[in-house]
Amino acid sequence: LVRMKFLQLLSRKPGKLEMLFQIPFCQKQFPYLSLATSTCLCSKKKKGNSYEQVDQEKYKKLVYSVTSYKTSAQTPETIFEEDNLIYGPPDKCRPPAGAETKTPKNWFPLINPNRRILPLNSDSNLPMKIPLQRKKMPSVTRILQQTISPQQAFYLERWKQKMILELGKDGFEEYTKNLFLHGELFHAALESVLLPEKTTAKDQGEDAAISGYLSSVQHVLEDISDVRALESAVQHETLQYLGLVDCVAKYRGQLCVIDWKTSEKPKPLLKNTFDNPLQVAAYIGAINHDANYDFQVSCGLIVIAYKNGSAAHSHFMDPGLCSQYWNKWLLRLEEYRDKN
């Protein structure tokens, strides 16, 4: 009898384990996790559909308990990493049907082949600052927001719900309001730091709320020179979109579109910055095809400044990386056009 039970256990166990790992990805329950289904779809096909008898309600709870075991404040990034740890990378079995394999229908070069670059006498030139005008063109941020991946929307929503649980609805509103305000203050402060000294009245009494962010980027500022544009509007004349770049300057000798980001959580890797690299690539392409600018940019830099003042992470994007993200951006732009 004991042996029989043991055998039963043996034959049962693998099945249970399998269910455990596959049910979370079941498309019916988790439509947002469609990308993550790639691992299970393969084995599903081989085995036929033996999961229909599974008590889905029961496992839903189990999955919930696994994914929500932390009570600390999380960002979409940390949740994403956490899920990645729990479930493993989703693209082992076959490439995801997403952006990685697609190529834009109407490809357009990032670099403008027709632009002649004039030799610059950079010292005398003030950075450009073209004001953003209301136009019919959509902005880069709007396009990215409206084409956000279901996975990202899911993690974002989950983070939001968690924050509301912690802070209350009003508390969360206050929190996001301050987040935006401090972001704006920080950008304005950097703009005045990067302007040539003669033109700016410095020591405007820095806000204590952003002093951490400012000391965080101090070491990055030492590598920045030859500022060509600050908080300046860019528009892609052919692809018809616009945006406001934080800064165009040399970083360690290479001309970059620079985007400052504020963060309360570490983002040590470029992949932690979600759509930020697409945004930077979009700005580079726009600058290169905007008649207001007479230079050409092929690199990008994303600087993550930390509220607590710890050293900012700077993520340099070389021309190869920029081209990769440019293709991803073109796909998102096409997706946006299809929707609107």
- Rule CB under 5 A: is residue 231 a binding residue for Mn ion? no
For the segment 251-280, give every residue that binds Mn ion (CB under 5 A).
259-260
Shortest Cβ distance from residue 220 to Mn ion (Å)? 13
Tokens of 135: 């136009």
Q: Which stretch binds Mn ion (CB under 5 A): 89-97, 108-116, 241-249, 327-335?
A: 241-249
Shortest Cβ distance from residue 236 to Mn ion (Å)? 19
Nearer to Mn ion, 40 or 302 (CB): 302
Nearer to Mn ion, 33 or 140 (CB): 140
Shortest Cβ distance from residue 248 to Mn ion (Å)? 13
Cα–Cα distance measured from residue 175 to residue 181, given in angstroms and rounded to the nearest whole number? 10
Query: CB-side exposure of 149: number of CA atoms within 13 Å?
Result: 19
> Quick check: 120 and 228 in contact, CB under 8 A?
no
Over the Cα atoms of the chain, what is R_g? 24
For the segment 161-200, give every residue that binds Mn ion (CB under 5 A).
none
For the segment 31-60, give every residue that binds Mn ion (CB under 5 A).
none
Between the alpha carbon of residue 266 and those of residues 152, 168, 180, 270, 277, the distances in Å are: 18, 24, 18, 11, 17
The catalytic site residues sit at 246, 259, 261
Shortest Cβ distance from residue 273 to Mn ion (Å)? 11
Cα–Cα distance measured from residue 289 to residue 294, given in angstroms and rounded to the nearest whole number? 10
Nearer to Mn ion, 223 or 335 (CB): 223
Strand order in the sheet with 313-317: 224-236, 241-251, 254-263, 299-306, 313-317
Cα–Cα distance measured from residue 227 to residue 230, given in angstroms and rounded to the nearest whole number? 8
Q: Which stretch binds Mn ion (CB under 5 A): 49-57, 58-66, 75-83, 244-252?
A: 244-252
Q: Which stretch binds Mn ion (CB under 5 A): 85-93, 109-117, 130-138, 242-250?
A: 242-250
Cα–Cα distance measured from residue 206 to residue 11, given in angstroms and rounded to the nearest whole number? 68
Shortest Cβ distance from residue 243 to Mn ion (Å)? 11
Shortest Cβ distance from residue 64 to Mn ion (Å)? 35
Query: CB-side exposure of 225: number of CA atoms within 13 Å?
Result: 7
Between helix 150-194 and helix 76-87 the angle, nearest 10°, is 140
Shortest Cβ distance from residue 187 to Mn ion (Å)? 6
For the segment 94-153, give every residue that binds Mn ion (CB under 5 A).
none
Question: Amino acid identity of 211?
Answer: S
Cα–Cα distance measured from residue 232 to residue 282, given in angstroms and rounded to the nearest whole number? 14
Q: Which stretch binds Mn ion (CB under 5 A): 8-16, 239-247, 275-283, 300-308?
A: 239-247
Cα–Cα distance measured from residue 55 to residue 52, given in angstroms and rounded to the nearest whole number? 8
Nearer to Mn ion, 191 or 259 (CB): 259
Q: Which of 17, 39, 16, 9 is nearest to 26 (CA)?
A: 39
Nearer to Mn ion, 59 or 251 (CB): 251
Q: Which stretch binds Mn ion (CB under 5 A): 12-20, 39-47, 238-246, 324-332?
A: 238-246
Tokens of 104: 């834009």
Q: List the one residue from 77, 246, 275, 290 that touches Mn ion (CB under 5 A).
A: 246
> Quick check: 326 and 285 in contact, CB under 8 A?
yes
Size of the site for Mn ion (CB under 5 A): 3
Nearer to Mn ion, 23 or 270 (CB): 270
Nearer to Mn ion, 40 or 128 (CB): 128
Site residues (vs Mn ion, CB under 5 A): 246, 259-260
